[in-house]
């Protein structure tokens, strides 16, 4: 995966810990709307009990990078301009957020905007990953 404002990497790097993957685009209003809650979630829990990453489907990295800078998003972000990951993950509409087990199995797909750091979302994450939030 080509890194945005950070190093490139492979999905396999994240094995061993649950992973939240958010598939988004800079031109997608609902995607832009939920990014702040994903950032707060990442700052509060990311790296400890699970990791949070974003995958932009923008055609041009510059558009995605500009949005990340403007929104002050710091969690790891990648771009999928060839749509390889978008197709692999089944992102036929966005935003799409996937909860992936430590072994790499997709446990849950959530389409549409969500407030990822509210009590309901935290309960869903805890139940899906079987962790205490």
Query: Which domain CATH number covers 83?
Result: 3.40.30.10
Answer yes or no: is 124 within a domain.
no
Mind listing the pLDDT tens digit for each residue in 17-39? 999 999 999 999 999 999 999 99
- C-alpha distances (whole Å) from 97 to each of 47, 60, 71, 113 are 17, 21, 18, 9
Answer yes or no: is 62 within a domain.
yes
CA angle 41, 95, 29 (to 5 degrees): 95
Total domains, the chain: 1
pTM of the model: 0.94
Mind listing the pLDDT tens digit for each residue in 49-108? 999 999 999 999 999 999 999 999 999 999 987 777 777 787 789 999 999 999 999 999
Answer yes or no: is 121 within a domain.
no
Contact status, residue 64 vs residue 100, Cβ threshold 8 Å: no
Tokens representing residue 16 in the block = 């061993």
Beta strands 51-56 and 96-100: pairing type?
Answer: unpaired
pLDDT at residue 85, as a whole number: 77
Q: Which domain holds residue 56?
A: 17-110
Answer yes or no: is 44 within a domain.
yes
């Amino acid at each position: 995966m080509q890194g945005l404002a950070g190093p490139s990497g492979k999905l396999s790097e994240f094995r061993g810990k649950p992973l939240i993957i958010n598939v988004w685009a800079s031109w997608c209003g609902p995607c832009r709307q939920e990014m702040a809650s994903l950032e707060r979630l990442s700052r509060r829990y990311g790296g400890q009990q699970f990791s949070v990453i974003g995958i932009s489907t923008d055609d041009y990295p510059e558009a995605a990078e500009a949005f990340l800078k403007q929104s002050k998003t710091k969690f790891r972000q990648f771009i999928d301009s060839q749509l390889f990951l978008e197709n692999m993950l089944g992102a036929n509409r966005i935003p799409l957020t996937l909860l992936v087990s430590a072994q790499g199995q997709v446990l849950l797909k959530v389409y549409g905007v969500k407030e990822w750091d509210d009590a309901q979302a935290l309960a869903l994450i805890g139940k899906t990953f079987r962790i205490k939030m």
